[in-house]
Structure 1
């Protein structure tokens, strides 16, 4: 009897050991050493623009592999449908209207920038002993030469190579003859506050190379936070010839005859086809792969939390500005596009990988937002967030552990784009399956059940009185809290509408 009991105990211990080796490590366990954190941000990449999200043509093997090794989100939302406010929300965990950024920031334009009393993920992790760096598109001020506005170092980044505002500027901008031809090489990047001039690299390669160089050059073996914000697939599109050749069948005859025609000269020209856009996505994928391969080569793959996402929805074939012509972003059937509050403007691809700590190939349908990233990192890395400010996001660590998530307040989105002919709605909230969009006067305009109507075609406003009353009450309470934000008051700010006309 004793021998049988001993044999059974040994078998149980061996089985338990095997399970421990094959099951994901619990995220609640404090790691032996602090994990590294990498956030990779694409620019204007649509929900349907990747192979992992169902694009039937575009090849994205590196990002697809990341999805196979981590968790892919089907209902991840950017904090806003435009670049500057979305990036502010991600880095601070605060809805963008609180941060001083209500819309995109024109280069050299109005005195708009991230509030100096805001703290970013970089600031928090620096306090935890992390090395911090960012490469790519900052777009949280009106220019990297502005001494009156906070720069990357003021936002917690020890090292930076940034294109501070808006477009990837190019020497082709200065050429007076038209039509203009040539590869778009950027001239608007600053390294640690100093301009580097024109470089003979396309933006994506410049950014990925700088990220790898920084990882190689670190002398102390501290944990690191690396924010890699590619300018792809924002216009102007620029891709190596091998990727243009890969998608030549999706280019018009005119495009094949006029490659490297500068994007500013496209307005009066024929449709170029979707091939250039497809090429730029695959080029972006290659640069993402370089960063991922470097982390693996460093032996840090299992000890690095990696988020890949996009700042907002895509520029679809519905061009609204001259520099948006000939784009071909996909929303996978969702309504809308960049700059509006339909699902196509705010729902974006997102993948989180953390070595063996997150189940490989997991897919989550739980609604989450970029505002959740900061509190999630605080939860996973065991540091406290300050109590002197509102943090709108909530930790999604339960989701990463494939457990239910209970939210304590609605998801909320804000944007201020007052087009003269068609003003963009300003507010939206989501509670459960229900989403309500409000106009610029905070009046309810649309109500959708996203579970039954993901395409947002059946407006339920006026048909759900009890639900509407509750959503309006919750929104009003939330809006009042934002309008009276403590950090905004400390900066002496008044939330005035932005006039871009």
Structure 2
């Protein structure tokens, strides 16, 4: 009897001990999982370096956006890998120069899917990006546009490492099966597949206002009426929730914030990656009346619309950051704010010369014709600083001190490596990655320049920055310019004639880099000329 009693007691206490041990181990594992930081990546559209008040915007204040940099680090020389949306985002999402896997050109739109447009007036800007066939087949390149499946995008990497993942907003990396966000690593997706979408659909709606041309059409890239009829039910511009077309009645910028807040609420007990690529400040120019009214000091109506849209963007960013703080997630959440490329010239200038839109520099605009890239030269689609330099603000209270300004050149390709390192996710071994972990440099764990050399290529337009020198080659225009950005940040003084050895050195470095690239996987959308500081410049879409 005593032996039986002893056995029962031994079994009982052993079971209790194992249960406690198991519980403690489970709690420890849970705590270990929770040490992984949440990652919230907010990406604005067509927003250059100077388009937020922390970087000198004079038209308005952006306190919620600025607070991210004030609470962490502001990178003053942040470069994207392309001066246009699609290619830039391909680089950001993969951490690799997009020319390494053929995503060099802008996505081609399936015929008629982005807009209803007048085929007799296809000479307008950007219509070259529309496929010229109305009979797409399964073999058409449009079906396989996007980040190739051989690449591991950041959502796929983080999902494999225990993260809940979501994209709320603009995708622009493929329209068809296998290339849509809910099929490329995102547990939840809400947004549009193409380059832009409506902010609201009603032609006349109380509390809203839109910039229209002389024929009453929604304004897009400086075009006149008849060229664009925006749609909300198309493959490219419609709002899709996990692959299904859905209705949306809210102002799109606020709807994105709503969806982001809901995702945080549903996933706050586990590590999450939330990618929030807003549509603002891309066209169409549609604003809330309340924010339009706040901008009555701005003479240029296009800039006034964009500033009104920017105010809504700042409010939406504030809703997301407030949710993170209210839920007690702030200390261990990485919050990133950036832009995909510089501001577009034709949205911010009413100047035309010989039928070509005029893009400028610090000396070529008066008050009426200023743009949001100033004082940087050029803008979207060009390799001038106004096209490839954008804001980058990072806040991570657990790891990064407040109020840091980082002045060395860095790349948007660094975000992939930074996120992976923070999550404890090893980089895939099958590829060469072009970024660095920025936290190491910000905190002083690594010294020196993160990127002694940076490269850009859009077809016949080729650029390299090595140290302070920047070489720009346009093979179509047969032009070549060399600038020293340390004493000429606005690219006003061409040094190529006086420094032929430096030109040859940088040209050789660029040619060596090109040896590791592949041809574009789909054709270019065409060539557009603009006037920059009085000179005609061609660029490739």
Deviations 1:350-388 (CA, angstroms, capped at 9, x unpaired):
101001421211111110010111112233333221222
Query: Structure 1 residue 472: deviation in Å?
Result: 1.8
In the alignment, is residue 393 of structure 1 matched against residue 435 of structure 2? Answer: yes
| Cα RMSD after superposing both structures | 3.1
Aligned to 1:350: 392
Contact 2:36 2:271 in 1 (8 A): yes
Q: Could you state the TM-score of these two structures normalised by the residue count of structure 2?
A: 0.73
Question: In structure 2, what is the Cα distance between the partners aligned to 1:136 and 1:327?
Answer: 30
Contact 1:315 1:327 in 2 (8 A): no
Question: In structure 2, what is the Cα distance between the partners aligned to 1:351 and 1:471?
Answer: 30
Query: Structure 1 residue 458: deviation in Å?
Result: 1.2
Aligned pairs for 1:338-487 within 5 A: 338-402=380-444, 404-407=447-450, 410-416=453-459, 426-440=461-475, 445-483=480-518
Contact 2:68 2:336 in 1 (8 A): no
Distance 1:248 1:126, change over 3 A: same
Deviations 1:39-82 (CA, angstroms, capped at 9, x unpaired):
10000112111110111221211112222111011100112100
Contact 2:441 2:450 in 1 (8 A): no
Distance 1:298 1:114, change over 3 A: same
In the alignment, is residue 229 of structure 1 matched against residue 277 of structure 2? Answer: yes
Deviations 1:195-244 (CA, angstroms, capped at 9, x unpaired):
003x21111011110111112223x8220000001000001122222111
Aligned pairs for 1:78-93 within 5 A: 78-93=80-95
Contact 1:45 1:329 in 2 (8 A): no
Query: Structure 1 residue 281: deviation in Å?
Result: 0.9
Q: Identify the structure with the greater strand proportion.
A: 2
Q: Which runs of 5+ in 2 are unaligned?
A: 1-31, 111-130, 132-140, 204-211, 220-229, 360-367, 528-541
Deviations 1:409-445 (CA, angstroms, capped at 9, x unpaired):
62112224xxxxxxxx522111111111122479881
Deviations 1:71-94 (CA, angstroms, capped at 9, x unpaired):
011100112100000111001011
Query: Structure 1 residue 499: deviation in Å?
Result: 4.1
Q: Which runs of 5+ in 1 are unaligned?
A: 1-29, 252-270, 417-424, 484-492
Aligned to 2:50: 48
Query: Structure 1 residue 301: deviation in Å?
Result: 0.4
Aligned-partner SS, 1:56: coil
Aligned to 2:315: 286
In the alignment, is residue 119 of structure 1 matched against residue 156 of structure 2? Answer: no
Query: Structure 1 residue 165: deviation in Å?
Result: 0.2
In the alignment, is residue 76 of structure 1 matched against residue 78 of structure 2? Answer: yes
Question: In structure 2, what is the Cα distance between the partners aligned to 1:380 and 1:306?
Answer: 12
Distance 1:427 1:180, change over 3 A: closer
Aligned to 1:422: none
Aligned-partner SS, 1:301: coil
In the alignment, is residue 139 of structure 1 matched against residue 172 of structure 2? Answer: yes
Contact 1:172 1:180 in 2 (8 A): no
Contact 2:292 2:308 in 1 (8 A): yes
Question: In structure 2, what is the Cα distance between the partners aligned to 1:178 and 1:456?
Answer: 38
Q: Could you state the TM-score of these two structures normalised by the residue count of structure 1?
A: 0.78
Question: In structure 2, what is the Cα distance between the partners aligned to 1:409 and 1:31?
Answer: 36
Query: Structure 1 residue 398: deviation in Å?
Result: 2.8
Question: In structure 1, what is the Cα distance between the partners aligned to 2:522 and 2:274?
Answer: 34
Aligned to 1:58: 60
Aligned pairs for 1:156-171 within 5 A: 156-169=185-198, 171=201
Distance 1:87 1:55, change over 3 A: same
Aligned to 1:194: 244
Query: Structure 1 residue 127: deviation in Å?
Result: 1.1
Query: Structure 1 residue 341: deviation in Å?
Result: 0.3
Contact 2:108 2:525 in 1 (8 A): no
Question: In structure 2, what is the Cα distance between the partners aligned to 1:194 and 1:273?
Answer: 34
Aligned to 2:216: 179
Contact 1:235 1:324 in 2 (8 A): no
Aligned-partner SS, 1:274: helix
Aligned-partner SS, 1:287: helix
Aligned to 1:153: 182
Who wins on radius of gyration, i.e. which is larger?
Answer: 2
